[in-house]
Amino acid sequence: MNDGRSRKVGDFAHLDVDRARRRGYPEAIYCEGKTPEQVGAIALSLREVEQTTLFTRARPEHADAVLEVLDDVFYDPDAGFLAYPAAAPEPSGVSVLVLCAGTSDLPVAKEAMHTARYLGRAVSLIADVGVAGIHRLLSYEEELHSAGVIVIAAGMDGALPSVVGGLVSCPVVAVPTSVGYGAGSGGVAPLLTMLNSCAPGVGVVNIDNGYGAGHLAAQIAAR
C-alpha cells in the first residue's frame, strides 16, 4: 500500500503521510523498540518530504542513524527529541507555558516544550516550582494568568496541577513523571494524584509522555 495516504518503508512500517492533511499535525516516529537501521530507513524516506517530522524517545544511536541521511535536524539528547527540519514553524495560536515541579522532571518538560514548538506554538518554561515551597509558584502568578494553556510535569506527589488548576482559567495538561521511588514509584503516585485533582480543568497523559502533553497543548492552543 503506497497510495499517497500512507507510505510503506521496507516491510516494517506504514508511514501515515496523510496525517498532516487529515489532522493538521505531522507524523512522529516513536524510536523505542525500533532498531537504528529501521529509524534510518524511515528518515531516508523523508528526504523528499517537506513537512516537519518528529522523532521521539530517540537515543543517541537513533539520532546518529538519522543524521547519516538527514543533515538539518534539531536534537536534544536529554529529552530524546529530534525534529526535522531544524527550523520550527512560525508560532501561531496562543502560548504554551510549561512548568516542572523539580529539576528531575526537566527531560519530560522539555520533550513537551519542544513538541509544542515544532507543532507551531510559542512556548516558555519555568522549572523547579513544586508545592513544598509554595511561594516559588505564587511569585509567577502573572505568567500563569497570561498563558493560553499550561503543561505541568511533576513526579513524586504530583500535587502541582491541583494547585495551579485552582488558580487559572486556562486548561491544564498534566504529565506525571517517573521521578520518585518506593510506593507509587514509576510515576504511579503522581498519575493518580493528577487523575484525582480537586481542581477541575486538568487533562492527564501517560507517565513520562512529554510528547503527548506537548501535542495536546498545541492542539488546545491552536484556536
Placement of cell 495538561 in the chain: 173
What is the spatial distance between Cα 113 and Cα 119, in angstroms, rounded to a whole number? Answer: 10
Beta strand 13-15 with 81-84 is unpaired
| Cβ atoms < 10 Å from Cβ of 24 | 12
Q: Which CB, 72 or 203, lies closer to a second copy?
A: 203
Q: Which CB, 57 or 72, lies closer to a second copy?
A: 57
Site for a second copy in 135-154 (CB under 8 A): 135-136, 139-140
Site for a second copy in 31-70 (CB under 8 A): 32-34, 38
Residue choice 18, 64, 85, 86 for contact with a second copy (CB under 8 A): 18
**CB of 172 within 8 A of CB of 203?**
yes
What is the spatial distance between Cα 120 and Cα 92, in angstroms, rounded to a whole number? Answer: 6
Q: Least distance (Å) from a second copy to the CB of residue 23?
A: 5
Q: Is 21 helix (H, G, I), strand (E, B) or coil?
A: helix
Q: Least distance (Å) from a second copy to the CB of residue 144?
A: 11
Q: Least distance (Å) from a second copy to the CB of residue 173?
A: 6
Site for a second copy in 97-116 (CB under 8 A): 101-104, 106
